[in-house]
A and B are shown apart, each in its own frame.
Chain A
Amino acid sequence: MSFTSSEFVLFMALCLAVLQIIQRPSVQMWLLIVFSYLFCLSFGFAGVLVITLTALVDFNVGRQIENSTSSVNRKRWLWAGLAVNLGLLCFFKYDNFVAANLNALLGPLGVRIPVLVQDLLLPVGLSYFTLAGISYILDIYYERGTSSKSIAEYLCYLLYFPKLVAGPIVRASELLPQFRREVQPTAQDFETGCAYLLVGCVKKLVIADQLAGHVGMIFAAPEQYNAFTLLQGVLGYTVQIYADFSGYSDMAIGCARLMGIKFPQNFLMPYSSLNIAEFWRRWHVTLSTWLRDYVFFPLEMGSRGIRNANIRVSRNLLVTMLVCGLWHGASWNFVLWGGLHGLALAIHQVYGAVFRRGMRPPKHSMFHPAALVSRGLTLSVVMAGWILFGTATPKVAFQYFGRLLTWNTSGIALGSAYILPLTALMIVAHLIVNKDRNLVEELPLYSVQKRVVTYASLLVALSTLVTSNAVPFVYVHF
């Protein structure tokens, strides 16, 4: 059941109506669990089983860690919890990848590794609720958070349907206190929720889906197209993936806000970043902060013996981004994508240490030539990464790079009425909008006239510019 389907609109309306009628927090929590299970079930039974198992394990591990007085026992429970979470993730997500690579390596010796689980069985939201579970266990172990006292509460946290399929990755400490209160949205919550849903729908259905057809064709067979078409392809994918995923996140935030639940922001105008480190503070924020807290920091603490800060930080950034790449999918393309970003972050770190202490963002205007060059350079690295991210195999990606960088003019010239105008729209939006403001949150504070015009414009865009082909969300596959 996709956020953009008519079934989901009915499902959401029913959920809100029932929550309005029954206002006891403990009953509301069970209702949210029932609705979340129904939502989860619409993607298949595997997800229901795996998420329930994960919830039971995490809940018990959390209690055991908190109640243990011996540090050895606490560590044992921690490792047991991590093993179950990571074990399930590896079993379902990386089984094919590991088996295929081992078979390629060991095939000449006559060894054959069987594939245990096919891709089709991947439980819905596995990558997201695994990260949520790991952060819950680690926070209790590090005494940064306390364990949940009721299995219903924890199940609700892990299952909660607006974030189940593709995040945002919300920490237990942010969500559990909200579930303990009555689910009672204010009028402003309701309007903000609707605004997020409208903006998310426009990003997804009007921008991302319009681009998906042409961009998909170019990325599937780049060897057939000339360099100008390939340039349009990467520009289009850059806009599509942002509109698709930030649109999804907006809808998730909006659904939760309709119930009075606040999610953290996931996208903060990432394409206006002045450097690659800033890009990762603005792109998929809940994932990058998760990686910072649970991968990068432990790596940094563990490698304090390396006194050369540049070597230490560069190594840890590279490892963190390789993990980030692998999290996105079991393919060498994602590993290369993570490696490219890790390398770019490492270069940025060394450059900052050698040439400019602290790498503070320049205070001058966003239209200053230095700021424009910085943005252009950052965006070029990001776009190179999207070629690796969007193609099926490294070979196809390198064909893409080869034809684009040598400006090969042979091949099909594919004309798209959408790519260049939508790219221009995205660039202008990222140049003129203050990247530290959240216009959707501010919308209910504007005058009635401004709000009516804004909502009407969004509705007109939705009713006239939506493509007839429904395209699945990109990040649902991760």
Chain B
Amino acid sequence: MISPELKQVILNTLGIDDWELTDATLAFEVPGWDSLNHINVLLAIEKHFNVQFKNVELLRLKNVGDLQRLLDSKL
């Protein structure tokens, strides 16, 4: 389950009003979340939640559910 706060940070960074994000959502399925924007989304999450991800943790991510679990493990 994706938290409303994480969803809001992602959507704000991508500049879109609303989009359904589930555990299984893949980055490229979300408008604007392309390879060039990927790191901007992750940086925005780090800044908003005041957490620090390791490179290898980010490279392991397969979907938005993985991102939520990684974030939960840091909070």
Contacts and interface: CB of A to CB of B under 8 A. Distances in A.
Interface string A296-340: 111011101000010011000000000000000000000000000
B36 A277 contact: yes
A297 B60 CA distance: 11
Interface stretch (B3-11, B17-25, B37-45, B67-75): B37-45
Contact of A300 (B31, B32, B39, B62): B39
B1 interface: no
Interface in A402-427: none
A300 B36 CA distance: 9
A358 B56 CA distance: 27
B37 to A, nearest CB: 7
A144 B38 contact: no
A174 interface: no
B37 A300 contact: no
Contacts of A312: 39
Contacts of B38: 297, 300
Interface residues of A, number: 20
B36 A301 contact: no
B39 A301 contact: yes
Interface string B36-64: 11111011000000000001101110100
A296 B58 contact: no
Contacts, number: 41
A304 B43 contact: yes
A142 B60 contact: yes
Interface residues of B, number: 19
Given A144-B60, A144-B62, A358 B35 contact: no
B14 A358 contact: yes
Interface in A274-312: 277, 292, 296-298, 300-302, 304, 309, 312
| Interface-central residue, B35, B38, B60, by most chain A CB under 10 Å | B35
| Interface-central residue, B31, B55, B59, by most chain A CB under 10 Å | B59
| Interface-central residue, B31, B37, B39, B62, by most chain A CB under 10 Å | B39
Nearest to A294: B59
A349 interface: yes
A300 B42 CA distance: 11
Interface of B: 14-15, 31-32, 34-40, 42-43, 55-56, 58-60, 62
Given A142-B60, A304-B42, A349-B36, 5 more contacts: A142-B56, A142-B59, A297-B59, A304-B55, A312-B39
Interface of A: 142-144, 277, 292, 296-298, 300-302, 304, 309, 312-313, 349, 352, 357-358, 360
11 contacts: A144-B62, A292-B35, A300-B39, A301-B58, A301-B59, A304-B39, A313-B36, A352-B36, A358-B31, A358-B32, A360-B31
